Amino acid sequence: MAVNEEPRRMFEVFLQRKLNVLHGAVLGSGKVTEQELLEAYRQYQDDGEIRVPAPDTTERNNQRLIFGSAILLFILVATPLISIVLEQAIATRCLVPNNYLVWEATRPISDCDFCRGVHGPLIFGNLTKEEFRPYAYSSQPIILKNAISHWPATKLLNYTFLRDLYGKIPGALDSVQSDCQFLHFKSNFLTLRDVFSMSQSRAEFRKGELPWYVGWSNCHPQILTELRKLYPRPHFLPDDAEMPNTDFIFLGYEQGAVMHLDYIPRLMWQAQLRGNKSWVLAPTPECDSQCKSFTFYVEPGDAVLVDTRLWYHGTYVPKGEFSLTIQSEYG
């Protein structure tokens, strides 16, 4: 996936800021002057090498020039390498999805209104659309107990069903790598094909096998149509709530997702189809003095709604247990 011009521009600005900080720190050390850095840079421009002049009459000047030359060499050599590595990471879908490094570096500062006074999720029963409306576009985390327990997916959807469905539709497995997003988390799977090729013993996490947990966006039209027969549009969402033509699937044992923000355009809902899952929510760092982190868990049949654009969040599955969730956006 190519890095478009806007993320590239933001990356260059971010990198320039970091280099300016490094440049200021070097000068602030008192061991090298602006003129010495310029002289070292001029010599580099002349022949592409850092050359230290003949020993000065003063040992201190010689040491300062060597120090400055070494710092400049580090800047000139390391900066392109860092740029290449980070740019490749940004462009690699499963390593750092959706230009995460750029977005994290340029994230707006939060005003903390979203988390101030929040100590846990609001927990409701199975609300109707009208009852849910006052909370629909809130940043307050919400759990709706047993809201999706009537979905056929809670009984029919599992690893085997997904493996067989993707296996019988031509191009479906490859679409996850080419068009959709695959998240391997801590597992050693690089593709969805790897996931569906594992042994039955590992798929069931039998004794002696390694745990695994993965997720992917389901953007294949035929797969999406088949799966949405097992779960409808959540009945509690407002009529004006738009949903994308992509859903996420998360399944596996024990591991879950590390703490992160989601850089997505809409609010998020997630349906817990099988197993339990614990969530950890934390405010953005600038709100640590005003807001608190907290944990909660959801059970099969529950729906959880979190503004993952504002709350840092991570999940984990209880030891030895299997979890399967469907997730989508609305707004």
Does 95 map to a domain?
no
Does 299 map to a domain?
yes
Does 169 map to a domain?
yes
Residue 39: the pLDDT is: 58
Could you count the other beta carbons within 10 Å of the beta carbon of residue 278?
A: 15
The predicted-structure confidence for 295-316, as pLDDT tens digits, reads as follows: 999 999 999 999 999 999 999 9
Residue 87: the pLDDT is: 47
Domain count, the chain: 1
* Model confidence, pTM: 0.70
At 118 the three-state DSSP class reads coil
Percent of the chain topping pLDDT 70: 68
> What range defines the domain where residue 172 resides?
112-330
| Segments of the chain with pLDDT less than 70 | 1-103, 105
Does 188 map to a domain?
yes
CATH code of the domain in which 287 resides? 2.60.120.650
CA 14, 19, 25, 26: dihedral to nearest 10 degrees?
180
Does 6 map to a domain?
no
